[in-house]
Amino acid sequence: MNCKEAFDLIDNEIAALNDALRTGDDQPLNGFLDLMARFFMGSFWNAALIQRQRPDASHVAGFDAWKKQGRYVRKGERGIAILCPAFGNRSSVDVDLRDPDNSRQSVISRQTMKVSMVFDISQTEGDSVPGCLPTDADFGIWMEIMEQLVGKDESLDEKTQSSLTETKKFRQHEYDRFAAMVRMWAPKRLHHHSGLRNGLTQAVCDAEAKAFAYVVCGR
């Protein structure tokens, strides 16, 4: 697969999500957001590629990376194409029109994209891999970070700050309170630079905020 084919796959995934939403089917979007929560360190583009090729993937790595962890890709398994940065140099000649003999050649570094193949853990066998997702023991840390972010965020208006404070007065489950805080905080951060968001409707902004909260809470 080359880069053009990879971007065609991404376009197909986005088109499929849009088509499903137009018909009122939100399951494909929920599945995509679940995958984004699992691959929270990856890009949107690679999430779309993985969703298109292997939507049940949970932990991917390259052939050599798995080998270093004591796991081996099973024979016959098909790789999952993702996009990775590629760095290279390009020669350039600076021509001196007044003195052509004084022309100099320089090297310019540039970054492009390339397609790499990874494999899901279900396609491998070997040593067990330690879990890397947060546990209940980590939750208190995330709640503390969220409260600090909200408390220091000057972009939040008084009404939103008051609503976030109110969540502490109710005997909500801590996970529910965390989700409520993310849902109220996310719109202000996603749309903080309003000059860049003027073309979006309120419905789109609300959908973005809900998707953001869904991914964070799923993480």
* 112 plus 156 within the same structural domain: no
Q: Determine the Cα–Cα distance for residues 50 and 56; give it in Å rounded to an integer.
A: 9
Predicted local distance difference test score (pLDDT) of residue 144: 73
Q: Determine the Cα–Cα distance for residues 100 and 113; give it in Å rounded to an integer.
A: 35
Q: Is residue 200 part of a domain?
A: yes
Domain count, the chain: 2
Of the chain, the end-to-end C-alpha distance in Å amounts to 30
* 190 plus 216 within the same structural domain: yes
Predicted local distance difference test score (pLDDT) of residue 170: 47
* C-alpha 134, offset from chain centre: 17
Range of the domain at 170: 134-219
Predicted local distance difference test score (pLDDT) of residue 89: 59
* 171 plus 111 within the same structural domain: no
Q: What are phi and psi of 103, to 5 degrees?
A: -65, 145
Predicted local distance difference test score (pLDDT) of residue 171: 44
Q: Which residue has the tokens 């008084």?
A: 158
C-beta separation of 213 from 183 below 8 A:
yes
Query: Among 124, 9, 5, 7, which residue's Cα sits nearest to residue 57?
Result: 124
Q: Determine the Cα–Cα distance for residues 196 and 67; give it in Å rounded to an integer.
A: 45
Q: Is residue 182 part of a domain?
A: yes
Q: Which two tokens stand for residue 17?
A: 């999500």
Q: Determine the Cα–Cα distance for residues 129 and 108; give it in Å rounded to an integer.
A: 41
| 3-state DSSP percent of the chain in helix, strand and coil, to 5 | 55, 20, 30
* 141 plus 215 within the same structural domain: yes
Q: With b meaning 16 or more CB within 10 Å and e meaning fewer, what string describes 68-91?
A: eeebebeeeeebbbbbeeeeeeee
Q: What does each of the 219 residues of the chain score in pLDDT, given as a tens digit?
A: 888 899 999 999 999 999 998 898 989 988 999 998 888 778 889 999 999 999 999 899 999 999 999 999 999 999 999 998 877 655 544 544 455 555 565 555 566 788 999 999 999 999 887 665 555 556 667 677 666 766 655 555 555 555 555 555 444 566 677 777 777 777 666 655 555 566 777 777 777 777 877 787 765
* 111 plus 153 within the same structural domain: no
State pTM to two decimals: 0.69
Between the alpha carbon of residue 62 and those of residues 46, 152, 200, the distances in Å are: 14, 40, 38
Q: For the chain, how many helices (H) and strands (E)?
A: 8, 5
